[in-house]
Amino acid sequence: MSPTKLPADDYYASLPKHIAGAGAIIRDAADRILVVKPSYRDDTWEIPGGGLDAGEDPLQAARREVREELGIDLAPGRLLVVDWVPEQADGRPPLVNYLFDGGLMSQDECENRIHLDSDELAEWRLATSVEWDALFAPHLARRLHASSRALAEGSAVYLQRGFAPTRPEN
């Protein structure tokens, strides 16, 4: 039996749906990472970033989100982490999240340049790696630790819900 040829629109409509997000890891010389407290939730901190808009690539989204949330126009650097998060029980489709190197900013630069979007963010701070596990949801904390390692090693990391996947045995 031969497969039925679908019109392109029908074929694309039949494919699984995924969402994508992107963010920037902005840090200071002491390797503290700029973290933000969303105004719309109180259970976790986040890094500057958000969902991709239609027609936008991950680098563009990271830059736009930092500009919208913090009032800073920066061109994100190299890719640090790609994290795949499967479909959630609440119906959220699978998510792929890209984290890019946002560069260095001192405490003074942050204080002088950051202008929070109060509709989205309540506050910001520079947090040490020791603080991440207490501030972030577990998968986000794992993602930050992986980002920190990628920065130190000059590498990029693929994760699944914040964990490095294990290779299947052949």
Residue ranges and CATH numbers for the domains of the chain are 17-160 (3.90.79.10)
Band of pLDDT at residue 170, cut at 50, 70 and 90: low
Q: List phi, psi (to 5°) of 96.
A: -115, 130
Residue 134 has pLDDT above 80, yes or no: yes
Average predicted confidence (pLDDT) for the chain: 92
Q: Report the alpha-carbon distance of residue 23 to residue 58 in Å, rounded.
A: 8
* Average pLDDT value for residue range 42-68: 95
Mean pLDDT to the nearest integer, 60-72: 97
- Which amino acid, 73? D
Mean pLDDT value across residues 30-50 = 94
> Which residues partner with 46 through β-bridges?
36
Q: How far is CA 60 from the centre of its chain?
A: 13
pTM for the whole structure = 0.90
* pLDDT surpasses 60 at 70: yes
